[in-house]
């Protein structure tokens, strides 16, 4: 009987944490949808940019997120083109990682296994690393394009 109580409490705590996380996510989405990070000073600033005057690979992600939420795809690419390419890549990788174990006995299992090998292969890590470094360098050499 005590194990049922512990399980019940654990379930309530888990549900409360998920509900709180969902409410925070919705609040963040509403704030970023309504307020432009370029125009309001309370959004976090990039420490690297503030210190060096150069743009890091993450500079502009907040503005890019704001643009996506408002349907401005071109503005999102202008804010941070790398994020617009890597966020879908990461989302697909998370999807593959999550559902590979769930769909083990279904027809998608082989496809997800092969896709997981491609997404998490050592070469993929080096390709993403190279893209990030190249973007970091090029966006400071050609700031009007990146």
Write the DSSP assignment of 16-76 as a string of letters: HHHHHHHHHHHHHHHHHHHS-TTT-TTSPPPHHHHHHSPPPTTTTHHHHHHHHHTT-HHHH
The pLDDT tens digits of the residues spanning 65-83 come to: 999 999 999 999 999 999 9
What is the model's pTM? 0.74
Mean pLDDT estimate for the chain: 86
pLDDT for 1: 47
How far is CA 113 from its chain centroid? Answer: 22
Same domain, 62 and 132: yes
The residue that leads in pLDDT, 136 or 120, is 136
Query: For residues 131 and 84, is the Cβ–Cβ distance under 8 A?
Result: no
In a domain, 15, yes or no: yes
Q: Assess whether pLDDT exceeds 80 at residue 84.
A: yes
Cα dist. 69→30, 42, 142, 146 in Å? Answer: 9, 19, 27, 21
In a domain, 146, yes or no: no
Same domain, 63 and 86: yes
Domains in the chain: how many in total? 2
In a domain, 118, yes or no: yes
Residue with tokens 């090998």: 117
Query: For residues 84 and 77, is the Cβ–Cβ distance under 8 A?
Result: yes
Query: For residues 60 and 79, is the Cβ–Cβ distance under 8 A?
Result: yes
The pLDDT tens digits of the residues spanning 89-110 come to: 888 888 887 777 676 666 777 7
The pLDDT tens digits of the residues spanning 7-41 come to: 678 888 889 999 999 999 999 999 999 999 999 99
What residues make up the domain containing 29?
1-34
Please tell me the distance from the alpha carbon of residue 126 to that of residue 107, in angstroms, as a whole number.
30
pLDDT for 95: 84
Same domain, 89 and 126: yes
Same domain, 68 and 110: yes
Residue 55 backbone phi and psi in degrees, to 5: -95, 130
Same domain, 86 and 135: yes
């Amino acid at each position: 009987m005590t194990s049922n109580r512990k399980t019940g409490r654990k379930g309530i705590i888990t549900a409360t944490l998920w509900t709180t996380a969902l409410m925070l996510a919705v609040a963040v989405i509403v704030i970023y949808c309504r307020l432009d990070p370029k125009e309001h000073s309370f959004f976090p600033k990039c420490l690297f940019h503030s210190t060096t005057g150069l743009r890091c690979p993450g500079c502009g992600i907040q503005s890019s997120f704001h643009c996506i939420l408002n349907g401005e795809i071109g503005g999102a690419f202008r804010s941070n083109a790398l994020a617009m390419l890597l966020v879908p890549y990461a989302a697909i990788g998370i999807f593959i990682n999550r559902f590979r174990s769930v769909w083990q006995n279904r027809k998608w299992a082989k496809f997800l296994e092969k896709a997981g090998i491609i997404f998490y292969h050592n070469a993929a890590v080096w390709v993403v690393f190279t893209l990030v470094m190249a973007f970091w360098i090029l966006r400071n050499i050609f700031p009007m394009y990146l």
